[in-house]
Amino acid sequence: MSRTTPATAVSVPTTPGGTVPATTTPVPTRRELIGWLLRVTRPVLAPLLASTVCRVADLLLGVGLFALAAAAVVRTIAAIATGAALPGLWGIVGAMVAMSLVKAVLRYGEQFLGHFVAFKALELLRAEIFRALIPRAPRVMATARSGDLLARSTKDVDRIEVFFAHTFAPMVSAVIVPTTVLLVIGARASWALAGTVLPFLLAAILLVPLTGWRRSLRSSRESVAERAVLTQHVTDSVQGLAEVVGYGRTTERLAQMRELDDAVAAAGRAATGWASWRRGAVQLLVLAGPLAVLAVGAPAVEQGALGPVALAASAAAVLRLTETVRGVEEFAASLNASFASAERVYEVVHAPVEVPDGEIALPAAGAHEVVWEDVSYAYPGARAQALTGVSLTAAAGQWTCLVGVSGSGKTTLANLALRFDDPTGGRVLVDGHDLRELTADSLRREAALVSQRAHLFRASVAENVRLARPDATQAEVEEACRAAGVHDEVLAMEEGYETLIGERGASVSGGQRQRLSLARALLARPGVLVLDEFTSHLDPELEGRVRQAVRERLAGATVIEITHRLGRVGEADRVVVLDSGRVAQEGAPEALLAVDGPLRRLRERETV
């Protein structure tokens, strides 16, 4: 089995023409990546700073609490041994209780704010991805793998959470807390003790976390890329489950999945190994610090240069720094995976927009004229042209039929009118405006598509229809469904319009899916409606009723229909016959059928 697991681009199938590499985005530097993350998540930087302050204060109080307890124990033991007056234990206990309560509040504040920052950052990043995909849709779905996009939008974004929840605050506290503790030890006990601990802390905080950094990052990148391939495999297997089972290929698919699982584990083995080594080394250094303090401080106590209480408090304070240092090790262990995932999200967001937005808003109107002016088009990577020098007009308010054999360019021509892509030659105009000049929002508002592969969401019937107009009333939804010829069937469902439609419309028939998609378009009342084989799943009688309802509800709108079924082509105002990406014949259907030409031959072939 062959797999593609590059770090910055994937080879993906496109529309006819084989496979072409997806548009690549240069891998950002670490500074560029961090700068981008901070810009996207600017709204959460203030609570992130507050969370960091809470963490620093919490850790300092923890060190102070530990040192105070150790000092109190040694002072009490010394008082008992010498017969001196016992220290004010109740005062010490009261201070410790007060410190503990404040510490608990700070800990809560750090956790609450930190996770608020993390989850809000994930929301902002997912919104950033979606905003980046909108101007690339729907072409992006022809040149990308849905499973990979899903992995980048979910799992990769989730891994970036480490950067916000477990990186910034631990990194800042790893500088401030040990520095503060060493300064206090030096000022209140002995600078020699502070100097003894310093090398251990520097090694634990700086040297060890950086050990194996590059290999860990490379391993994390490979692991994330392999995981994306696995996600795509699982997505394909689930979506094509009927075919996998039907052709008896479950064993092979499971074997491939196990192979991909092994590849994910192998790719991440180096990063896991380095993380384990760092964890052990940090633990050793952290425990060596207090021992070094005792080793250096004990002779000083014997010589009278240092008090036992100061030594105990210093050793306890250094021991308590374990939490601070461990936080550095923990984020260092997962930061590489976080950055590797951030790079994949960065690629999506910064990929070039191949269909840039225009600046002119298309005025709302009941109908629009669509003109293809010497249009040529070739799919990326394809050797042959899908369209060559096509010039024709879909007059405002008329019903224009595009007919021809499969692969003649009908759907491509309609897709260019919706600006799913730009022609490689010539131009497409709506009301005299080049589509490149128009804003995507205004064009989408005025044009609608009923595809032969209509997508239904896992939501209620009403919610699926309201996709076109979220503010539509229930009466308007039902009116649109009635016009699409699906109202009675919806009422017959278990919960009527509140019936939950399965994922990708799995719980409804192909004909119901098409008519619900048509109801969406009718609810939107567009000025231009593109119908792509919209009656292919309907019997002739129902097809006739639906066509009549569309004409009545969208009277005056511009309709562009793509069809292979020529039985009702005579109802159109104009017919365009396409052949091998060129206009073979066009005109009124009566005139075209009256002569021995392409339309008549197609009609005769259909009736044979």
Measured in residues, the chain has a length of 608
Residue 153's pLDDT is 84
Please name the residue ranges forming H helices in 154-268.
157-165, 168-188, 191-202, 208-210, 213-239, 241-246, 250-267
516-557 pLDDT per residue, tens: 999 999 999 999 999 998 887 778 888 888 888 888 888 889
CA dihedral 112, 115, 117, 118 (to 10 degrees): 180
Residue type, 542: L
State the first-to-last Cα distance of the chain, in angstroms, to the nearest integer: 45
Q: Is the dihedral of CA 408, 410, 416, 421 positive or negative?
A: negative
Residue 257 structure tokens: 């999945």
Residue 143's pLDDT is 61
Residue 128: which region, alpha, beta or left (left: phi > 0; alpha: psi -120 to 50)? alpha
What 3-state class would DSSP assign to 354?
Answer: coil
Residue 537 structure tokens: 């799943």
74-101 pLDDT per residue, tens: 888 877 877 766 667 788 889 999 999 9
Residue 235's pLDDT is 78
pTM for the complete prediction?
0.71
Share of residues in the chain with pLDDT > 70 (%) = 91
Is 370-607 a CATH 3.40.50.620 domain?
no
pLDDT band at 334 (very low <50, low <70, confident <90, very high): confident
Residue 475's pLDDT is 95
555-599 pLDDT per residue, tens: 889 999 998 888 888 889 999 999 999 999 999 999 999 999 999
Give Cα 118 distance to the centre of its chain: 15
CB 592 within 8 A of CB 599: yes
| Furthest C-alpha separation in the chain | 124
Nearby residues of 252 by Cβ (< 8 Å), 6 or more positions away:
none
168-181 pLDDT per residue, tens: 888 888 889 999 99
- Residue 14, CB half-sphere, CA atoms under 13 Å: how many? 19
Nearest to 30 by CA among 212, 205, 214, 173: 214
Domain boundaries, the chain: 27-172+339-353, 370-607
- What is d(CA 233, CA 204) in angstroms, rounded to the nearest whole number? 41
Q: Could you give phi then psi for residue 133, rounded to 5 degrees?
A: -80, -30
CB 171 within 8 A of CB 331: yes
Q: Is the dihedral of CA 501, 504, 506, 508 positive or negative?
A: positive
CB 377 within 8 A of CB 388: no
Nearby residues of 28 by Cβ (< 8 Å), 6 or more positions away:
36, 343, 346, 350
pLDDT(151) > 60: yes
CB 247 within 8 A of CB 163: no
